[in-house]
Amino acid sequence: MKTIGIIGAGSWGTALGITLSGKGHKVKICDVNMEHLNEMKNNRENVRYLPGIKFNDNFHIVDSTEEALKDADVVIFSAPAQHFRSAFENAIPFLNDKMVVVNVAKGIEKHTLLRLSEIAYILKPDVKYVVLSGPSHAEEVGKGLPTTVAVASKNIKLAEYVQDVFMTDRFRVYTNDDVIGVELGGSLKNIIALGAGISDGMGFGDNAKAAMMTRGITEMSRLGVKLGADISTFSGLTGVGDLIVTCTSMHSRNRRCGIMIGEGIKPAEAIEKVGMVVEGIFTAEAAYDLSKEVGIEMPITEC
């Protein structure tokens, strides 16, 4: 059994912590919001983001990054994509060469247009980096419903190590060495889900949404290939798989936000009503800028 440090106690970080602690690993989770952490300590559940699922004795809520990372074998970054840089910078003093870093956030950093692995390698060139992605709503993972994801790393042995740490009879993990494709699939599908939600909110029906999803995977893979990804990755769990679940489920905050926008609610108000970070809003801007920079047409993203 391993010691797992988790940075970010939102719904996804909590759901993964529940899964890993249920397997017998020692999980230590922290967050920048101390009020939220105290609520989790008092209730022994994440009432704010993942209500109704109690923590077991292997699940520990701690007050600092230093405490979360002390003696950790694996460090999970579950901060929103636009805050990944600051979370990683804060963690660097407590990261050692033996720790494996698993990033589970999905997005492209605005302004720099960097993928999250690129940020990690700039800040710590020798980091043992793995990305985890796929069709995996926290609400279902936290309840132990069957889920399948993929992990990718430049070093396939690291991916296989993380696969072994995470795998359960309800949480199946595949490995991949296409970090670019896995990261871009997880990031770009949020834009298409936002568009699918807008289509639903405007009452355009299933035909339009099917077209949105199909043309969406086309422009996702077009950008991915230009940036060095394997096109087959977009046919897998972290491409079309994640796209399907995010465009069709009411668990999807991007789709829910899009529905409200399609109904005429201002984007800022829609985000507030969702109550969690809507990554597609930020990624749309970043992906649009990136598409112009590399000369790729992405009409859904542009709209």
**3-class secondary-structure state, position 267:** helix
First CA to last CA distance, the chain: 48
Q: What does the alpha-carbon distance between residue 241 and residue 232 come to, in Å, rounded to a whole number?
A: 12
Tokens of 156: 């396939």
Positive/negative CA dihedral, 206, 142, 217, 280: positive
Interacting residues of 51 by C-beta distance below 8 A, sequence separation 6+:
45
Type of residue found at 107: G
Catalytic residues, by residue number, are 189
Q: Would you say 242 and 186 are in contact if contact means Cβ atoms under 8 Å apart?
A: yes
Q: Which of 174, 190, 170, 197 is nearest to 265 (CA)?
A: 197
DSSP per-residue letters across 103-127:
E----B-TTT--BHHHHHHHH-TT-
Q: What does the alpha-carbon distance between residue 301 and residue 303 come to, in Å, rounded to a whole number?
A: 6
CA 154 to chain centre: 19
Q: Where are the beta strands (DSSP E) in the chain?
A: 3-7, 26-30, 45-46, 50-54, 59-61, 74-77, 100-103, 128-133, 147-152, 171-176
Q: Which of 172, 13, 19, 208 is nearest to 102 (CA)?
A: 13
Residue 40 half-sphere exposure toward CB, CA atoms < 13 A:
29
